[in-house]
């Protein structure tokens, strides 16, 4: 199905849901039943063929054509059986029991009773900054389900108890009442069809080919028709969290998690991996995370992260609404929350320290090879620094910028600043030198120099214009908040940022609206830029392989733009979507990037054919 057709069907489902919710749910149930009828019909047909052929053989009427009919019947029977019995793996994580964390289980039981929900059969703890509730079908497409609640240890470190319980109420809200059970059934059905389609993708049997043809027609239409239901379910789960803990608590939890999630991706993990420069053995992150997540984020970072998050628009790639829409539905005003001061880790009781140590050790085991590779990369950075330092007097501006970038990669901000200043002495107005110097200047540190550099970037570098506006607005907002009379300057830069945002939106529209492999070339990253990309991909465990290409834009020929294709095996599409959006914000590339995963469009085969050779392949320990 073409993307435009998919979007059209999604919009139709949203309109149908808004006009008559009951009728919409009936139509969804009928369309879901169609899929079950296909599977049952194929199963009955296969059994009938087997019976007919068996009777013929028993009665002595065997013919050569029966061999083909028998093979077709067996193939169809096997294909139908796979469809009916499509096992789903239990989520990963360490099992928690009421004896391990009695306070946590008591809180979960109170939530269950208040919303009159079904029991949670298993509670698990993992190392992700997230929480989720999932249902594992007992008997494939038919039968009940086992409820699994997975809690991320970083989430317990990041928010206080009321906000954490608001998250638990949201997750539990997906299972409440008849509507919740219906939405959960639809969600399980979506996962089952997705797993079936993936498992049969490379099956060449005649019966499998017929099922694949049906799935190609049915599955995207099922996703589109159930999209509005899935999004409604998210709003309803938020409403339940707001009802139990209060809308302000639920809204503050959503906002704090969004901001601290951005901080984890863009600040904490780069800082943690930078420790590989002086440590050959991997260091566990969770003990350090415990201390840092209990501190308020930097105010500039928090304001900027919130501003960018609130600019996001809900789209058809994810059933989760964006933060702005969720806060509006809760009738909560968007803004920075009062930060959590007492993390919810105490819900784990006396074994909290045990779990920190356990996940630290587990992380070190899982990342030993990548840590060693990153240590070697940072040693190569040091070697390049030493080489450029010996030719310091002869270096041109580009080489001085490269040296500054390398120093910054090693955390030597003062040396980096000196290099950028020397680059600007040798070539005044050098765009990369100006950008590097701004990055070395704190917002309150010589703000006149910082603003002068940003002004030069805006005037002379179209490629860095949006970034210059973004940084200038951030600087002026802080100074205006401190009481300085700079409202006119802030207004000017906000107007510039608005124009730059519009240009960025047009550029992104051109990237997304044109065929993925149109007007692409091999990437143009230098050794340092490629090293930065590889360092970021190394930190992202789900990435198995990656391809990077440059894309030429008609309207913005001066821009460095990229497409990054990822092989993300073993993940659901919604998780892949969130990971790609997160990488777009956290990866340090010298231009706009659109991150895509190998799936229906583009397929892994298309990527391998058109995107040249992989720039990254995860090492196997």
Q: How confident is the model at residue 390 (pLDDT cuts 50, 70, 90)?
A: very high
The mean predicted confidence, pLDDT, of the chain is 85
Q: What's the pLDDT score for residue 396? A: 95
Residue 177 burial (C-beta neighbours within 10 Å; 0-12, 13-18, 19+): middle
Q: What's the pLDDT score for residue 311? A: 81
CB 419 within 8 A of CB 404: yes
How many angstroms separate the CA atoms of 323 and 30, rounded? 32
State the pairing for strand pair 545-551/561-567: antiparallel
State the pairing for strand pair 122-126/131-139: unpaired
DSSP-assigned states of every residue in 343-354: BGGGGGGGGHHH
DSSP-assigned states of every residue in 329-374: HHT---SPPPPPSSBGGGGGGGGHHHHHHHHHHHHHHHTHHHHHHH
State the pairing for strand pair 94-96/131-139: unpaired
Q: What's the pLDDT score for residue 253? A: 96
Residue 64 CA from chain centroid, whole number: 55
pLDDT in tens, 238-288: 999 999 999 999 999 999 999 999 999 888 998 899 899 899 999 999 999
Q: Please indicate whether residue 567 or residue 513 has the higher confidence score (pLDDT).
A: 567
Which of 1-5, 371-375, 460-464, 511-515 is least confident? 1-5
pLDDT in tens, 309-353: 888 887 777 778 999 999 999 999 999 999 999 999 999 999 999
Range 359-378 average pLDDT: 91
CB 578 within 8 A of CB 557: no
Range 166-186 average pLDDT: 76
Listed in sequence order, the residues at least 6 apart from 109 whose beta carbon sits closer than 8 Å to its beta carbon are none
How many angstroms separate the CA atoms of 587 and 288, rounded? 22
Q: What's the pLDDT score for residue 338? A: 95
Q: What's the pLDDT score for residue 573? A: 78
Q: Please indicate whether residue 603 or residue 78 has the higher confidence score (pLDDT).
A: 603
Q: What's the pLDDT score for residue 197? A: 62
What does the CA dihedral 208, 211, 215, 218 come to, rounded to 10 degrees? 180
Q: What's the pLDDT score for residue 39? A: 74
Q: How confident is the model at residue 104 (pLDDT cuts 50, 70, 90)?
A: very high
Q: What's the pLDDT score for residue 83? A: 60
Query: CB atoms < 10 A from the CB of 347, how many?
Result: 21
Q: Please indicate whether residue 303 or residue 82 has the higher confidence score (pLDDT).
A: 303
Q: What's the pLDDT score for residue 285? A: 96
Range 380-393 average pLDDT: 92
How many angstroms separate the CA atoms of 149 and 127, rounded? 14
Range 148-174 average pLDDT: 94
From the list 118, 151, 171, the residue with the least C-alpha distance to 347 is 151
Please give the structure tokens belonging to residue 131. 């929480």
How many angstroms separate the CA atoms of 132 and 122, rounded? 12
Q: How confident is the model at residue 109 (pLDDT cuts 50, 70, 90)?
A: very high
State the pairing for strand pair 545-551/616-617: antiparallel
pLDDT in tens, 117-136: 888 899 999 999 999 888 77
How many angstroms separate the CA atoms of 429 and 453, rounded? 8
Please give the structure tokens belonging to residue 329. 């539905």
CB 157 within 8 A of CB 145: no
Range 93-99 average pLDDT: 92
Q: What's the pLDDT score for residue 201? A: 58
Residue 84 CA from chain centroid, whole number: 31
Q: Coil, helix or strand for 246?
A: coil
Q: Which helix (H) or strand (E) holds 594?
A: strand 592-597
Q: How confident is the model at residue 380 (pLDDT cuts 50, 70, 90)?
A: confident
Residue 89 has pLDDT above 80, yes or no: no
User: Model pTM?
Assistant: 0.74
Range 96-120 average pLDDT: 91
Listed in sequence order, the residues at least 6 apart from 543 whose beta carbon sits closer than 8 Å to its beta carbon are 537, 566, 567, 568, 616, 618
Sheet containing 122-126: order of strands:
94-96, 122-126, 142-152, 131-139
Q: Please indicate whether residue 520 or residue 575 has the higher confidence score (pLDDT).
A: 520
Residue 571 CA from chain centroid, whole number: 11
Looking up tokens 């990237």 gives: 511
CB 572 within 8 A of CB 580: no
Q: How confident is the model at residue 203 (pLDDT cuts 50, 70, 90)?
A: low
From the list 14, 77, 87, the residue with the least C-alpha distance to 45 is 77
Which of 74-83, 350-359, 507-516 is least confident? 74-83
Q: Please indicate whether residue 608 or residue 529 has the higher confidence score (pLDDT).
A: 608
Residue 85 has pLDDT above 70, yes or no: no
From the list 422, 354, 347, 352, the residue with the least C-alpha distance to 391 is 422
Range 289-297 average pLDDT: 92
Q: How confident is the model at residue 536 (pLDDT cuts 50, 70, 90)?
A: confident
CB 218 within 8 A of CB 38: yes
Query: CB atoms < 10 A from the CB of 270, how many?
Result: 17
Sign of the four-CA dihedral 545, 549, 551, 557:
positive
Q: What's the pLDDT score for residue 139? A: 63
pLDDT in tens, 236-247: 899 999 999 999
From the list 274, 199, 281, 323, the residue with the least C-alpha distance to 581 is 323
CB 229 within 8 A of CB 18: no
Q: What's the pLDDT score for residue 531? A: 83
Give the chain's end-to-end CA distance (angstroms, integer).
39
How many angstroms separate the CA atoms of 607 and 549, rounded? 10
- Neighbouring-strand partners of residue 6: none
CB 401 within 8 A of CB 419: yes
CA angle (461, 466, 469) in 5-degree steps: 100
How many angstroms separate the CA atoms of 151 and 148, rounded? 10
pLDDT in tens, 554-602: 877 777 899 999 999 888 777 888 899 889 888 878 888 999 999 877 8
Residue 535 burial (C-beta neighbours within 10 Å; 0-12, 13-18, 19+): buried
Instruction: Tell me the C-alpha to C-alpha distance, in Å, between residue 34 and each of 38, 84, 214, 391.
Output: 6, 14, 11, 72
Q: Coil, helix or strand for 548?
A: strand
């Amino acid at each position: 199905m073409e993307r435009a057709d998919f979007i059209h069907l999604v919009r139709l489902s949203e309109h149908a849901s808004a006009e008559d919710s009951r009728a919409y749910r009936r139509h969804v149930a009928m369309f879901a039943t169609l899929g079950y009828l296909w599977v049952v019909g194929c199963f009955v047909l296969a059994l009938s063929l087997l019976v007919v052929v068996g009777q013929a053989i028993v009665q002595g009427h065997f013919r050569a054509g029966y061999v083909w009919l028998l093979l077709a019947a067996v193939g169809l029977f096997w294909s139908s059986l796979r469809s009916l019995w499509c096992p789903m793996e239990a989520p990963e994580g360490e099992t928690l029991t009421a004896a391990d964390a009695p306070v946590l289980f008591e809180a979960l039981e109170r939530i269950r009773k208040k919303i009159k929900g079904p029991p949670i059969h298993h509670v698990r703890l993992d190392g992700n900054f997230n929480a989720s509730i999932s249902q594992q079908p007992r008997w494939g497409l038919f039968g009940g389900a086992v409820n699994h609640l997975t809690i991320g240890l970083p989430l317990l470190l990041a928010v206080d108890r009321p906000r954490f319980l608001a998250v638990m109420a949201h997750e539990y809200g997906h299972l409440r009442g008849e509507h919740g059970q219906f939405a959960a059934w639809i969600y399980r059905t979506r996962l089952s069809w997705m797993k079936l389609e993936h498992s049969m993708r490379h099956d060449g049997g005649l019966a499998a080919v017929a099922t694949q043809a049906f799935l190609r027609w049915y599955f995207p239409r099922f996703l589109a028709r159930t999209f509005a239901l899935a999004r409604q379910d998210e709003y309803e789960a938020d409403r339940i969290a707001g009802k139990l803990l209060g809308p302000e608590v639920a809204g503050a939890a959503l906002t704090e998690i969004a901001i601290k999630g951005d901080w984890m991706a863009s600040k904490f993990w780069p800082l943690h991996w930078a420790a590989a420069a002086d440590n050959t053995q991997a260091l566990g992150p969770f003990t350090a995370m415990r201390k840092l997540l209990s501190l308020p984020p930097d105010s500039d970072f928090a304001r900027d992260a919130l501003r960018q998050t609130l600019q996001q628009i809900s789209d058809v790639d994810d059933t989760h609404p964006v933060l702005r829409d969720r806060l509006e539905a809760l009738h909560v005003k968007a803004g920075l929350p009062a930060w959590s001061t007492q993390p919810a880790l105490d819900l784990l009781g006396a074994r909290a320290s045990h779990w920190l140590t356990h996940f630290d050790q587990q992380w070190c085991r899982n990342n030993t090879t990548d840590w060693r590779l990153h240590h070697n990369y940072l040693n190569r950075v040091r070697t390049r620094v030493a080489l450029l330092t010996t030719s310091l007097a002869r270096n041109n501006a580009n080489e001085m910028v490269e040296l500054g970038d390398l120093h910054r990669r090693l955390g030597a901000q003062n040396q980096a600043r000196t290099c950028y200043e020397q680059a600007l002495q040798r070539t005044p107005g050098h765009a990369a030198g100006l950008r590097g110097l701004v990055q070395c200047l704190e917002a309150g540190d010589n703000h006149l120099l910082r603003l002068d550099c940003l002004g030069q970037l805006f005037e002379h570098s179209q490629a860095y214009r949006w970034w210059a506006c973004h940084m200038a607005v951030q600087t002026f907002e802080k100074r205006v908040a401190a009481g300085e009379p700079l409202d006119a300057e802030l207004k000017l830069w906000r107007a510039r940022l608005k124009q730059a945002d519009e240009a960025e939106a047009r550029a992104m529209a051109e990237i997304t609206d044109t065929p993925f492999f149109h007007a692409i070339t091999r990437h143009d990253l230098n050794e340092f830029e490629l090293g930065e990309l590889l360092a970021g991909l190394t930190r992202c465990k789900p990435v198995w392989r990656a391809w990077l290409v440059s894309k030429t834009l008609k309207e913005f020929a001066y821009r460095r733009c990229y497409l990054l294709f990822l092989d993300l095996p073993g993940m659901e599409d919604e998780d892949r979507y969130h990971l790609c959006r997160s990488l777009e914000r956290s990866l340090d590339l010298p231009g706009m990037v659109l991150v895509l995963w190998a799936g229906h469009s583009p397929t892994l085969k298309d990527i391998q054919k058109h995107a040249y050779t992989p720039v990254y392949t995860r090492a196997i320990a």
